[in-house]
Structure 1
């Protein structure tokens, strides 16, 4: 048997650097059956493959038209080609067969690709007369080389309309840790949808901590479910990198404010990041104001905001907004920690203007800020000069 596997996001997204767990599980399953498995880097599908599996996570990852035509077709004209993932089906993605879903991932599926990437970068450095720093270059592949990856729980009860996770109305234990734990890998990465919503969260977290490994929840955690006990365990654990949460709805403002106080009480060392969803409820001035209001609260608590511009499987509403350039500028300001820690939004726009080649015109960042300030001076006065770590809301008083 010869099996081809295509990670569509790896091919279609230049900066994509995270393994597709489905691809690794499929590879592990077929290798155990003695098949030859190949990670394919294009869509030229040779006839000698018995099956070709194509997985896609992101809806905007481009794939050839003949692949898109297979979506949802029960009478697949090419039985050899099988597609799956939220990138194709959004919230209606079919489940993997149990024997694949619960198979140990093949953590070596991407080895040859990484080797080729290193070789390519080394040759490019030599051609430019530069010294190739392999150790530094390899950091971008850490999720491929250092982590055991899996879902210890699945499901969520929130039913957020913008989320692809709509299949379940509760959180439940999904896989035993041993199912995907590779003893040779020093770290753990969990893709759980809402771990803290699982009734067994404590025993599961205790098991994770008992491994002695650093760990992280890639999709973030639901801060609205934090309690004193959860905070004590989480913030005293060997957590890997930033603690990541989400501030999607302005309606949660007061609740999240209370949870931020709790986080501050138990966390003094680790960086905390919040995904901030914009462009979902609307793409008007009110949405811009709500975004800044959430960012302001996070900055007061020295938390890093990360702007997530909403998109669904069919469109990206913010791109049709009159404030499109402003959405881009806010994201550029917030999503670079080294910048937002030092600059207010106004500072950032002025810095962009200073680098603009044509001094007689406004750069896109400056123009988006000036136009909005002229239209809504009261919003600009309230938020354009807020800074990281400053107590703009008098939260300590």
Structure 2
């Protein structure tokens, strides 16, 4: 039997660099059953396969208009069904992923780059080039828990109202992988978090929670275990709602009691409740608090499966500039928002006009000088690291 597997996000999104776990599980399952499995990189040859599986995570990933579920073409994932995505059959959901599914694609990308560099007469550093594929080559990936009780209206995870154990670690843990990546929705909300965290630590492998952790559930015990573990990279949390300001403030104090050196990052959701000056101010207020504790914000501009509200806002330029400023840590750590806009203006080539960042800042400041005076000149470097 010939099986085609297509990762729609890989095909449809420029520079997408994260493996589709469903695709890897499907590949592992069908290979175990003797099938010839091929990773497809286009939609042109479906008729050559007995079955084709197309999986999509992101709703805005483009797919052909003609793509439909048929007897031999099967589609799935949140990108197609948002919060109504059907579950995989248990025998596939709990199958060891095929961590070699993407090998041929990675090899072709390397060879293409070598050819391109040679054509331009430039030296090719394969080790440096391969860094972009680290999630494909270095990590075993899975869920030890599923579900969340928060029911956040902006979140795709609406299917469950609790957090529960999903897979034992050994179900997707492969000794040959250097690291572990967890995709859990709200790991700290599971009653069995302690035992599972101890198991992760016991592997002695670096591990990370790709989706972030719920800092509202932190306790001193959780902080002690997390911040003393062999964690991979930055610790990531979320600051989605200004209503949580006081609670997040208390948790930031707790975090910095346990670690003063580890890099802490927060996803900061904006453009959800509104796309007006109030939302802009609330975004800056959260950024300012994170600055005080030497934490990095990462701006997440809300979009749903049908709409991107911030793109219709009169402050679209501010949303773009905020994301460009915050989401580049090397810039955010050195410049205030005003300095960032001024730096962009200095690079602007059309004399007598503003660049988009400067234009957005100037117009907003003219309308709301009090907001600008309070936030535009704050700098990460002036943060106290939580020593308050």
Band of TM-score, shorter chain: over 0.9
Which of the numbers 137, 140, 146 marks the counterpart of 2:138? Answer: 146
- 1:41-120 aligned within 5 A: 41-67=41-67, 70=68, 76=69, 78-120=70-112
Find runs of 4+ consecutive structure 1 residues off by over 3 angstroms. Answer: 394-397
1:6-31 deviation digits (Å, cap 9, x = unpaired): 00000111111000000000000000
Is 1:272 aligned to residue 264 of structure 2?
A: yes
Distance 1:378 1:46 in 2: 59
- What SS does the aligned partner of 1:138 have? helix
> Once the 2 structures are TM-superposed, how far is the Cα of residue 379 of structure 1 from its aligned partner?
0.2
| Cα displacement (A) at 1:395 | 6.1
Q: How many Å separate the matches in 2 of 1:261 and 1:233?
A: 17
TM score, norm. by length of structure 1:
0.96
Structure 2 residue 5 is matched with structure 1 residue 5: yes
Find the counterpart in structure 1 of residue 313 from structure 2: 321
Task: State whether residues 187 and 213 of structure 2, in contact with CA within 8 Å, keep that contact through their aligned partners in structure 1.
Answer: yes
| Structure 1: gaps (5+ residues) | 71-75
1:350-389 to structure 2, matched below 5 A, reads 350-389=342-381
CA distance in structure 1 between the partners assigned to 2:375 and 2:386 by the alignment = 16
Q: Which residue of 1 aligns with 2:188?
A: 196
> What's the TM-score once normalised by structure 2's chain length?
0.99
Report the count of equivalent residues: 388
Is the 2:252–2:386 contact (alpha carbons within 8 Å) kept by the matching residues of 1?
no
| Corresponding residue of 1:73 | none
Does structure 2 conserve the Cα–Cα contact (< 8 Å) formed by 1:61 and 1:87? yes
Say whether residues 1:121 and 2:97 are aligned partners.
no
CA distance in structure 2 between the partners assigned to 1:269 and 1:63 by the alignment: 44
Counterpart among 202, 213, 228 of residue 221 in structure 1: 213
Ranges in structure 2 where 5+ consecutive residues have no aligned partner: none
Mapping 1:290-369, distance limit 5 Å: 290-369=282-361
Q: Secondary structure at the match of 1:47?
A: helix
Counterpart for residue 26 of structure 2: 26
**RMSD over aligned Cα, in angstroms?**
1.0
CA contact (8 A) 1:260 1:301 kept: yes
Q: 1:284-339 deviations in whole A, cap 9, x for unaligned?
A: 00000000000000011110000000000000000000001110000000000000
Q: d(CA) in 1 for partners of 2:338 and 2:224?
A: 38
1:384 CA drift (Å): 0.2
